Amino acid sequence: MITATRPDPTRDPWVYRPLPREHASVRLFCFPYAGAGPALFRSWAGRLPPSVELFGVRAPGRERRIREPPHTEWAGLIAAMCTALTPYFDRSVAFFGHSLGASIAYELTRELRRRGKKRPTRLFLSARRSPDSPRLAPTHALPRPEFFARLAAMNGTPAEILNDAHVMTLLEPTLRADVQLAETCPASDGEPVDVPIVAFAGASDEIAPPEYITH
């Protein structure tokens, strides 16, 4: 049973709530890819059925939290998210995560189980290799030119952003931290999560191809 007092989502730096639905029966928590913030899910809110309310998750280092140090270690990030998000679990919840966000949604579910907390009814995970798939060569500590070239190759950062030196100076710490998280994702040890998983893969995704989604 959730007994914590729910904070005000309009003031809470951890959540992005573009379309309040006080009578929705399900809250869908969305976790963005590396370097991104939850505002990218804004257009989803009105496309969901009235019974579902979208809550984007905003970690330090992005959007209104851009000047906060981003997390580089899984334990600290997941512990902070558990504390911040569980007050909103006063009704059914589901998680969606894309790329790094998929790993965060999965690891948060594992931590909720370890703590005996309420868990999502379903996990929707896209564009992320399973934890026991082969790892890619680490890139988060590369010198700036090589690191930026790698970001460009991943097609996750628009060219106009990569070519803007001022913007990239602001974003680089968060991008490196997020890539570090992606490259140091915990191994899939212990019992599998006791939550149904729906996995999505792009047929031409070279980083997370379909054969590695359910590896």
Angle between helices 144-154 and 165-183 (to 10 degrees): 80
Q: Which of 16, 65, 64 is nearest to 43 (CA)?
A: 16
Q: Is residue 8 part of a domain?
A: no
Residue positions annotated with a catalytic role: 99
Find the CATH number of the domain harbouring 117.
Answer: 3.40.50.1820
Residues 9-43: pLDDT tens digits? Answer: 889 999 999 999 999 999 999 999 999 999 999 99
Structural Rg of the chain based on CA atoms: 17
For residue 54, the enclosing domain spans: 15-134+187-213
Q: Is residue 170 part of a domain?
A: no
- What's the pTM value of the predicted model, to 2 decimals? 0.91
Q: Are 35 and 28 in contact (CB under 8 A)?
A: no
Distance CA 113, CA 96 (A): 17
Q: Is residue 5 part of a domain?
A: no
Residues 149-169: pLDDT tens digits? Answer: 988 888 778 889 889 999 999
What's the total number of domains in the chain? 1
Q: Is residue 71 part of a domain?
A: yes
- % pLDDT > 70, the chain: 95
Residues 116-157: pLDDT tens digits? Answer: 999 999 999 999 887 777 777 889 989 999 999 988 888 778
Q: Is residue 177 part of a domain?
A: no
Q: Is residue 143 part of a domain?
A: no
Q: Is residue 166 part of a domain?
A: no
